[in-house]
């Protein structure tokens, strides 16, 4: 059981309120006045807060940690790059092509690539390139997907305040203030796995649709996944219409398979975005795809502009090279999948013991847990699940030393270091946490 009193955390938050809005550097890190987490260290699959409470972490910074915190195979390469080359120069090095060639060896969907510093930047680059290549404006996005924090994709279906009995679609709302209505002008939203919606959108807007932007496995929606048939539908529709298919693999890339989600489907995008697991926690991202599409980036009068002061810095590239090399040359991803399967099995035993209908969504490396009888097929289906029970269960897990996001729209992320977790202990903790959640109802 974690400590009920958190004097150091409380003091840190009080100080932070004087320096940052909400007292945090990222709004999603604010968990309220009593529960906002301040860490003192991270190692392997555990994190320790400033009150010396240690947690087994299944949040993993929303997915970047694929090997484990402070993995020496990666960190040593970063240190070597810093001491032998430097960090940033505004020029290129051979590391650029080293990393691209590693990605190309894993991902047949990549001919050429450009780097970025975050998933948000990678999506911006991919969307701009798609528009520059097609000379069109509109982007079709899928409900429940998350594509970063730039205005145009910060519009969402308000499923939280939507009733499942309502025949009308959920209202599309901005993430918050400061997002101009005009940024919705060239964005069209459709439900996942809905063939009719795709046909309707292309019938109305096809002449101006530059691309479909989709997370094949939705990392902010409980790993709800596209069906094989739906992915093929998107591929065929784009080919017929002269639009591009952009797969956002910021979370799935180099996590769910060496070639990402596209390796699982056997269906390939024109453009793909990567980040997170690509660098095991270092800030690295990229977008790439077919050579003729990527070559829209040029100094031509009608060419696409892409750049960034910190793009392809030595810290990021050396981390990516080390991480991708480990993933390519070892069985790390197989280990991760095996651990994920075992954890799902023990959770299923616990849920079954308490007669809770449940199902798992997505791959073993980032699985979603849904309390209901059927795997959700889209964001609206998620509304049918018992998310309140899940949240209480998750909060109890945190109290018992297991860290995760207390929202069933966030998956359980697994890293290689989780192979050291005592699964018998985890099952006991899960049972205690579920018993307390049921009693609290």
pLDDT beyond 90 at 3:
no
Delimiting residues of CATH 3.90.1150.10 domain(s) in the chain: 7-66+331-439
The Cα–Cα gap between 306 and 294 comes to: 11
Q: What digits encode the pLDDT tens for the residues 44-97?
A: 999 999 999 999 999 999 999 999 999 999 999 999 999 999 999 999 999 999
CATH 3.90.1150.10 fits 7-66+331-439, yes or no: yes
pLDDT beyond 90 at 152:
yes
Would you say how long the chain is, in residues? 441
For 335, residues 6+ apart whose C-beta sits below 8 A from its C-beta are: 416, 419
Q: Rounded mean pLDDT of the chain?
A: 97
pLDDT range class, residue 363, cuts 50, 70, 90: very high
Q: Which helix (H) or strand (E) holds 46?
A: strand 46-49
The Cα–Cα gap between 287 and 285 comes to: 7
Q: What digits encode the pLDDT tens for the residues 262-314?
A: 999 999 999 999 999 999 999 999 999 999 999 999 999 999 999 999 999 99
Q: What percent of the chain has pLDDT over 90?
A: 98
pLDDT of residue 2: 61
pLDDT beyond 60 at 1:
no
Delimiting residues of CATH 3.40.640.10 domain(s) in the chain: 72-329
Single pTM value for the model: 0.97
CA distances from 171 to 59, 163, 167, 188 (A): 29, 11, 12, 13
pLDDT, average across residues 376-383: 96
pLDDT beyond 80 at 4:
no
Query: What does the block give as tokens for 252?
Result: 């799935």
Q: What digits encode the pLDDT tens for the residues 101-114?
A: 999 999 999 999 99
Q: In this structure, are residues 394 and 440 in contact, taking their beta carbons and an 8 Å threshold?
A: no
CATH architecture of 72-329: 3-Layer(aba) Sandwich (3.40)
Q: In this structure, are residues 238 and 134 in contact, taking their beta carbons and an 8 Å threshold?
A: no
The Cα–Cα gap between 212 and 234 comes to: 8
Region class of 407: left (phi > 0), else alpha (psi between -120 and 50), else beta: beta
pLDDT beyond 70 at 321:
yes
CA distances from 90 to 78, 86, 87, 93, 120 (A): 18, 11, 10, 10, 21
The Cα–Cα gap between 307 and 368 comes to: 35
């Amino acid at each position: 059981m974690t400590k009920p009193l958190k004097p150091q955390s409380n003091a840190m938050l009080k100080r932070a309120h004087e320096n940052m809005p909400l007292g945090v550097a990222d709004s999603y890190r604010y968990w309220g006045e009593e529960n906002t987490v301040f860490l003192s260290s991270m190692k392997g699959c555990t994190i320790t807060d400033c009150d010396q409470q240690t947690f087994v972490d299944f949040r993993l910074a929303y997915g970047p940690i694929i090997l484990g915190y402070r993995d020496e195979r990666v960190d040593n390469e970063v240190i070597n790059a810093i001491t032998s080359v430097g960090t940033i120069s505004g020029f290129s090095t051979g590391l650029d092509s080293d990393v691209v060639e590693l990605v190309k060896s894993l991902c047949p969907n990549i001919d050429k690539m450009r780097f970025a510093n975050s998933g948000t930047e990678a999506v911006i680059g991919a969307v701009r390139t798609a528009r520059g290549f097609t000379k069109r404006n509109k982007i079709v996005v899928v409900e429940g997907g998350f594509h970063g924090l730039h205005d145009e994709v910060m519009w969402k279906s308000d499923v939280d305040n939507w009733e499942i009995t309502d025949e009308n679609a959920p209202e599309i709302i901005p993430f918050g203030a400061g997002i101009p209505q005009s940024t919705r002008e060239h964005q069209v939203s459709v439900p996942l796995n809905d063939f009719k919606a795709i046909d309707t959108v292309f019938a109305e807007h096809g002449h101006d649709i530059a691309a479909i932007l989709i997370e094949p496995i939705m990392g902010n929606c409980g790993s709800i996944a596209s069906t094989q048939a739906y992915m093929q539908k998107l591929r065929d529709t784009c080919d017929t219409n002269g639009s591009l298919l952009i797969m956002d693999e910021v979370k799935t890339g180099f996590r769910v398979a060496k070639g990402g989600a596209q390796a699982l489907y056997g269906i390939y995008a024109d453009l793909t975005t990567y980040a997170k697991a690509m660098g095991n926690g270092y800030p690295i991202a990229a977008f790439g795809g077919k050579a003729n599409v990527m070559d829209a980036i040029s100094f031509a009068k009608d060419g696409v502009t892409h750049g960034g002061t910190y793009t392809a810095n030595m810290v990021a590239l050396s981390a990516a090279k080390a991480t991708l090399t480990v993933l390519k040359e070892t069985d790390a991803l197989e280990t991760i999948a095996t651990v994920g399967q075992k954890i799902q099995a023990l959770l299923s035993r616990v849920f079954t013991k308490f007669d809770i209908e449940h199902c798992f969504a997505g791959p073993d490396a980032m699985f979603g847990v849904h309390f209901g009888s059927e795997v959700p097929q889209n964001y609206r289906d998620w509304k049918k699940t018992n998310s309140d029970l899940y949240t209480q269960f998750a909060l109890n897990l945190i109290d018992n030393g297991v860290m995760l996001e207390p929202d069933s729209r966030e998956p359980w992320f697994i890293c290689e270091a989780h192979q050291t977790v005592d699964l018998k202990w985890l099952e006991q903790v899960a049972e205690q946490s579920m018993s307390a959640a049921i009693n609290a109802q």
